[in-house]
Structure 1
Amino acid sequence: MTDRPSDPTRPADLWAAVDELWAWLETHGAHGGETGLVLRMLKLTEEVGEVAQAVIGATGQNPRKGVTHTWDDVGGELCDVVITALVALRTLTPDARQVFERHLAGVVARSPGPPAAPPLP
């Protein structure tokens, strides 16, 4: 693993951090090969479930439990989903950054963008 920045408030380079997390999981994971790949993909379902749990907790939807989370908790859980997805993508391909950036460019190109300005009178 690479050295961590001396300032823990300094954000890490996204793709370096993804590579570091991937390398650590590859070394310490209980399963490798196709089983490890499938389990890493399934981890996304767990993380998305935690987003749902946090939303339910932030809204107090469960009357038995009441309000148990904040919207900051929801944001943190969403970050966990993104991190897990990027590490899963890195597990699928060593070219994760290029695959992601190419896909993102395609999604952006398909988006409708801002609404057109109304015609002048």
Structure 2
Amino acid sequence: MSDQTPLSDHAPPGPELWASVDALWEWLDNSRPIDGPDGVLLRILKLNEEVGEVAEAVIGATGQNPRKGVTHTWDDVQSELCDVAVTALVALRTLTPDAREVFARHLERVTRRSRTPS
């Protein structure tokens, strides 16, 4: 894996994250060729494409395809994972204007559940 600046040196995601998500959502909404329920479904299906790109990058970073060899780096994998996260947040914003609150509540539940012994 690559060396990165420690997370503590970065500001935590906050309002600027959601401002970016809103801007991306608006840009995509204004330029999508298909509106209505089909457009929403296509926005959500975009996640599958992005997850596939993560898989491709992992296979490329580990050289698992002997015909191609090493074609990607772990930085590529990180970038593709970020694309998945952004795509998921934009898809959530497509479903609700309250995406920030919905995500915060869900993250709180998942975090709480992870701290509860099984």
TM-score > 0.5 by shorter chain: yes
Give yes or no for the alignment of 1:15 onto 2:18. Answer: yes
Unaligned regions of 5+ residues in structure 1, if any?
Answer: 1-10, 116-121
Which amino acid in structure 1 is aligned with residue 26 of structure 2? A
Larger Rg: 1
Task: Specify which structure has the bigger relative contact order, considering alpha-carbon pairs within 8 angstroms and separated by 6 or more residues.
Answer: 2
Among 45, 69, 73, which residue is 2:72 paired with?
Answer: 69
Paired position in structure 1 for 2:10? none
Map Cα deviations across residues 26-77 of structure 1 (whole Å, 9 max, x no partner).
1001111101100001000000000000000000000000000000000000
Structure with the bigger percentage of helix: 2
Gaps of 5+ in 2: 1-12
Quick check: 1:32 aligned with 2:40?
no
How many residue pairs get matched?
A: 105
Does the residue aligned with 2:67 lie in a helix, a strand or coil?
Answer: coil
Q: Give the TM-score normalised by structure 2.
A: 0.85
Secondary structure of residue in 2 paired with 1:50: helix
| 1:83 lines up with 2:91 in the alignment | no
Aligned to 1:4: none
Partners of 1:94 and 1:22 lie apart in 2 by 10
